[in-house]
Amino acid sequence: MAYSVKEIFYTLQGEGAHSGRPAVFLRFAGCNLWSGREPDRATAVCRFCDTEFVGSDGDGGGRFDSAEALAAAVEACWPAQGAAWPAQGAAWPAQGAAWPAQGAAWPAQGAAWPAQSAARPARGAAQRFVVCTGGEPLLQLDAELIAAVRARGFVLAVETNGTLAAPAGELWLTVSPKAGAPLTLRRGDELKLVYPQAGAEPERYAQLDFAHFFLQPMDGAEKARNTRLATEYCLAHPQWRLSLQTHKLIGIR
Ligand code: SF4
């Protein structure tokens, strides 16, 4: 399958439970709830979008003809310091041997692989992390791409509007329901609700099967008011946590 990607870049995840975590952002082109073109906004299902997802002309964007090619582009964004895992085929220390200290060189080729239950590398070593977003990533993300990216040592997260089924594969699933759109994904890791939305009140989702519930103030002219309302709601309903768009607060994308 070919993939249309708006941009790929390395940053900090700004929102939700992984806020502050270094991540490669893989932004797919296209969404099923808005064309992404301003003349269509007033008649779209989702009208408050703050993301540019049309085309494939952003940094690192383009058309990728295979899952392998796109996975390689994701991997290329991860910094060398965090890529501390040995290359495929490289040697591992003998069973029982301690892992090298962070920054130390990897063992010479020829050593045996540790048992599968052996400990992971040094505590604090960076875990590669990619956030699949959009647009609507589930229009394109498939099991083949998940497998290709995971094979390169990444944990995958996906941020979806929840209207489409998720493909097979291990994912951190963030669902952000939109008023007026059907909600297909009713369980996952975090439910992140942009607030307030008439027709998408938190009470509609509070019983769903998610590990984390976040309210995120809607951006725009009413941002200060929305932040106050979201804060008050969380204080009154402690099942919900406040999610701020911290990347905007500190001026990164
Ligand atoms: S569903 Fe998400 S990507 Fe699509 S228009 Fe709404 S906010 Fe933007």
DSSP state of 40: G
Question: How far, in Å, is the centroid of ligand 1 from the Cα of 34?
Answer: 7
- In the chain, the domains with their CATH numbers are 3-81+126-249 (3.20.20.70)
Q: Which string of b and e fits 212-226 if b means at least 16 CB within 10 Å?
A: bbbbbbbeeeeeeeb
Which among 200, 194, 190 is positioned nearest to 229, based on CA atoms?
A: 194
Q: Peptide bond preceding 135: is omega within 30 degrees of 0, i.e. cis?
A: yes
Question: How far, in Å, is the centroid of ligand 1 from the Cα of 158?
Answer: 13
Is residue 102 over pLDDT 90? no
Quick one: which atom of ligand 1 is closest to the CA of 32?
A: 4
The reported pLDDT for the residue numbered 69 is 98
Mapped onto helix, strand or coil, the DSSP state of residue 191 is strand
Burial class (CB in 10 A: 0-12, 13-18, 19+), 193: buried
**Structure tokens, 125:** 């070593």
Quick one: which atom of ligand 1 is closest to the CA of 36?
A: 5
Contact status, residue 202 vs residue 215, Cβ threshold 8 Å: yes
Which among 59, 28, 49 is positioned nearest to 131, based on CA atoms?
A: 28
Active site residue 232: no
Measured between alpha carbons, how far is 159 from 138 in angstroms, rounded to an integer? 9
Q: Is the Cβ atom of 202 under 6 angstroms away from ligand 1?
A: no
Active site residue 50: yes
Average model confidence (pLDDT) across the chain: 90
Q: What is the pTM of this model?
A: 0.84
- Considering the candidates 7, 15, 25, 190, report the single residue annotated as catalytic: 25
Question: How far, in Å, is the centroid of ligand 1 from the Cα of 179?
Answer: 11
Query: Which protein residue's CA is at the shortest distance from atom 7 of ligand 1?
Result: 49
Q: Where are the alpha helices (DSSP H) in 141-253?
A: 143-150, 223-236, 246-249
Query: Which protein residue's CA is at the shortest distance from atom 3 of ligand 1?
Result: 135
Q: Which residue has the higher pLDDT, 85 or 55?
A: 55
The reported pLDDT for the residue numbered 120 is 52
Over residues 119-132, the pLDDT tens digits come to 455 566 789 999 99
